[in-house]
Amino acid sequence: MRLENKVALITGASNGIGKASALLFAQEGAKVIVTDINDPAGEATVAEIKAGGGQAAFFHADVSKASDCEAMIKFAEDTFGALHILFNNAGIMHGEDGDATSTAEEIFDLTYAINVKGVFFGCKYGIPAIQRAGGGSIINTASFVAHLGAATPQLAYTASKGAVLSMSRELAVIHARENIRVNALSPGPLRTELLMNFLNTDEKKQRRLVHVPMGRFGEAAEMAKAALFLASDDSSYMTGSEFLVDGGITAAYVTPE
CA–CA gap between residue 116 and residue 150 (Å, rounded): 19
pLDDT at 197: 74
Higher pLDDT residue, 123 or 197? Answer: 123
pTM of the model as a whole:
0.94
How high is the pLDDT of residue 200?
A: 67
Alpha-carbon span 227 to 233, nearest angstrom: 12
Quick check: is 112 catalytic? no
Greatest alpha-carbon span in the chain: 51
- Cα–Cα distance measured from residue 121 to residue 57, given in angstroms and rounded to the nearest whole number: 20
**Which among 80, 10, 8, 6 is positioned nearest to 220, based on CA atoms?**
10
With vertex at residue 129, the alpha carbon angle to CA 40 and CA 144, rounded to the nearest 5 degrees, is 65
| Distance, CA of 14 to CA of 224 (rounded, Å) | 13
- From the candidates 112, 157, 237, 253, give the one annotated as an active-site residue: 157
Give 36-46 pLDDT, tens digit per residue: 999 999 999 99
All structural domains of the chain with their residue ranges: 7-253
- The residues, any chain, with a CB within 8 Å of residue 53's CB and separated by 6 or more, are none
Dump pLDDT digits (tens) for 81-111.
999 999 999 999 998 989 999 999 999 999 9
Q: Which fold has domain 7-253?
A: Rossmann fold (3.40.50)
- Look at the alpha carbons of 170, 174, 177, 182 in this order and tell me if their dihedral is positive or negative: negative
